[in-house]
Amino acid sequence: MALKEAVEMAKKGLSYAKRTKYKEALAYYNKALTLDPNYAEGLFLRAAALIESGKYREGLADCDKAIAINQNLSEAWSKKALALYYLERIEDALAASTRASTLNANDVTAWYIKGVCLDEMGRSDEAQEAYGKSLELEIILDMHADAQRIRQKR
């Protein structure tokens, strides 16, 4: 169990990350991980912000640390796939995204990256399957988000 204070810091970081303010998000994630260096979720959240900021190797390193603590952290595998894709390590990205989608079948990004990687490798039919799955999930999420927006307006 992560320290309560670390979790609070990470939450603050996440609220900045959702507004694409990655510099501020990273500041909070760093504080969280100073408080608890083995906070796996904190590591993958920081990885996400690092990747969005273009720091792919550092992001990848954080993903690997998170996975070393918890092998079944699907979000960490998903971010790892993303970092590997940016680093043009397509086969490794495919392996990571496959692992992510196996652990969490509802991960849109994992399925999409899997599709992109398979496409790159010339495996078009499998790519279309992965894209199809990604689209299905993305539409469901989009419809839920729309329904929530309508409820909030009322």
Partner 1 sequence: MRTEMPLSKPIRRILVHTEELLDTEISLLRQPEAEPGGTLVDKYTYDIDSNVIIFPAQYVGLLKDFIIAKHCTHLLIKGAAAKKGEYKVCSYNADGVYAGMRQIYIDALKDEAKKEKKLPVQKLIQMLFILFSHFNDDINEIPWNAIINADVYHRMPKIRKTQLYHIMKESKNDMDEMMEQESIVPRRYFVLNKAMFYARDMYLAKTLPADELMPVLNIPQMKKFNHLEVKEMLTTRWTHTAWYQSKVFGDNMLSIIEKPLGPVNWKEEPTLDYYYDLYKVGKLLTDNLIGYMTMRDWFVWEPPKHLLDAHDHKAEYEKDALKRIFGDLITDTLVGA
Secondary element (H or E) of residue 73:
none
Distance (Å, whole) CA 115 – CA 101 = 11
Whether the CA torsion 19, 8, 55, 70 is positive or negative: it is negative
Amino acid identity of residue 118, one-letter, is L
Q: Per rule CB under 8 A, is residue 15 in the interface with partner 1?
A: no
Q: Is 145 in the site for partner 1 (CB under 8 A)?
A: yes
**Residue 120 binding partner 1, by CB under 8 A:** yes
52 lines the binding site for partner 1 (CB under 8 A):
yes
- Please tell me whether residue 134 binds partner 1 under the rule CB under 8 A: yes
Smallest distance, partner 1 to C-beta of residue 80, A: 13
Q: Least distance to partner 1 from the beta carbon of 133, Å?
A: 10
Number of neighbouring beta carbons within 10 Å of residue 150: 9
Residue recorded with tokens 């920081």: 46
What residues have CB less than 8 Å from 42, skipping those under 6 apart? 2, 6, 7, 9, 10, 29, 32, 33, 36
Residue from 5, 88, 91, 146 binding partner 1 (CB under 8 A): 146
Name which of residues 61 to 90 contact partner 1 (CB under 8 A).
Answer: 82, 85-86
Instruction: Give the binding site for partner 1 (CB under 8 A).
Output: 18-20, 52, 54, 82, 85-86, 108-109, 111-113, 115-116, 119-120, 128, 131-132, 134-135, 138-139, 141-142, 145-146
